[in-house]
């Protein structure tokens, strides 16, 4: 037996929702499409799965193409496959989301793709069902981050408590009491306080923290409740 007879074959693509954080706001890396259909319209970065690669490999390849980054936090989200979601021909899209340190990506490559970082308030219209993908990714990010410390993936190696709090506040569109927030975060044992201070954001300066990578690796899948009221997340 060489193949399954009588079955239709389809295209399979991978699309990546790429999140970044600029110290103030959560951002999305979008590209201006360079090919038909919908050339010059905004979309998320994607590509077809090649015969020799797995889905995870395809996602990593696509992410690398746009950002130059490897070994990035990448998680499969969902697969979309409505018969008419792509007007040219039926294409299944396996959606991934990626969390990257916005300072690390290759600006050169991303400008070749006409990519830019946009925030959620003023993001452009996207082709096909890409807006839905983004909504899905945002919900999933909230969900996952309410239980696991994944948001650290968005931060640079050294960051201040204020930046971390900004990140959580922006992801959840809320605000936290800084005393309670800092106490809760520190109680996880995930942070190591540095001697060095960030002097950019205030005269007094604020201490940098680094992620305790060992603790992070060990406790990644343990629930860590940083969000007080995780209702209505999905």
Partner DNA sequence: TCAAAAGTGTTTATTCTACACCCATGG
Partner DNA sequence: CCATGGGTGTAGAATAAACACTTTTGA
| DSSP 8-state secondary structure symbol assigned to residue 125 | P
Residue 83 lies near a copy of itself (rule: CB under 8 A): yes
Binder of a copy of itself out of 22, 23, 55, 212 (CB under 8 A): 55
CB-neighbour burial class of residue 66 (10 A; exposed 0-12, middle 13-18, buried 19+): buried
What residue 207 binds from a copy of itself, DNA, none (CB within 5 to 8 A, per partner kind)?
Answer: DNA
Question: If residue 27 lies in a helix (H) or strand (E), which one and from where to where?
Answer: strand 26-32
In the complex, minimum distance from the CB of residue 183 to a copy of itself, in angstroms, rounded to a whole number: 21
Nearer to DNA, 65 or 212 (CB): 212
Number of residues that bind a copy of itself (CB under 8 A): 41
CA geometry: angle at 117 spanning 163 and 39, to 5°? 165
Q: Are 155 and 65 contacting, i.e. CB atoms less than 8 angstroms apart?
A: no
Number of residues that bind DNA (CB under 7 A): 22
Residue 127 lies near a copy of itself (rule: CB under 8 A): no
Please state the separation of Cα 69 from the chain's center in Å.
13
Q: Are 39 and 173 contacting, i.e. CB atoms less than 8 angstroms apart?
A: no
Query: In the numeric block, which tokens belong to residue 185?
Result: 């975060």
Nearer to a copy of itself, 79 or 119 (CB): 79
Residue 233 lies near a copy of itself (rule: CB under 8 A): yes
Question: If residue 92 lies in a helix (H) or strand (E), which one and from where to where?
Answer: strand 91-99
Give the range of 22-30, 67-75, 105-113, 179-187 binding DNA by CB under 7 A: 179-187
Each residue 88-107 as x (binds a copy of itself by CB under 8 A) or -, in order, gives xxxxx-x-------------
Cα–Cα distance measured from residue 190 to residue 79, given in angstroms and rounded to the nearest whole number: 33
Each residue 190-229 as x (binds DNA by CB under 7 A) or -, in order, gives -------x-x-xxxxxxx-----------------x--xx
Nearest to 81 by CA among 69, 71, 89: 89
Cα–Cα distance measured from residue 141 to residue 148, given in angstroms and rounded to the nearest whole number: 10
Binding site for DNA (CB under 7 A): 160-162, 177-180, 182-184, 197, 199, 201-207, 225, 228-229
Binding site for a copy of itself (CB under 8 A): 1-4, 7-12, 36-37, 48-55, 76, 78-83, 88-92, 94, 221-223, 230-234
């Amino acid at each position: 037996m060489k193949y399954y007879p009588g079955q239709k074959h389809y295209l399979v693509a991978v699309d990546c929702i790429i999140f970044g954080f600029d110290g103030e706001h959560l951002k999305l890396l979008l590209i201006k499409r360079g090919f038909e259909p919908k050339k010059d319209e905004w979309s998320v970065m994607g590509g077809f799965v090649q015969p020799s690669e797995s889905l995870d490999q395809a996602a990593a390849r696509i992410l690398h193409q746009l950002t130059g980054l490897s070994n990035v936090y990448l998680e499969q989200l969902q697969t979309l496959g409505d018969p008419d979601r792509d007007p040219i021909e039926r294409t299944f899209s396996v959606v991934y989301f990626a969390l990257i340190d916005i300072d690390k990506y290759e600006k050169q490559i991303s400008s070749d793709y006409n990519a830019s970082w946009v925030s959620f308030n003023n993001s452009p219209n996207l082709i096909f069902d890409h807006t839905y993908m983004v909504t899905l990714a945002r919900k999933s990010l909230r969900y996952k981050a309410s239980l696991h410390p994944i948001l650290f993936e968005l931060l640079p190696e050294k960051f201040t408590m204020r930046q971390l709090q900004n990140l959580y506040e922006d992801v959840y569109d809320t605000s936290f009491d800084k005393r309670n927030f800092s106490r809760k975060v520190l109680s996880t044992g995930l942070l190591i306080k540095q001697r060095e201070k960030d002097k950019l954001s205030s005269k007094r300066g604020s201490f940098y923290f680094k992620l305790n990578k060992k603790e992070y690796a060990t406790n990644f899948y343990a629930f860590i409740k940083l969000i007080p009221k995780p209702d209505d997340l999905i």
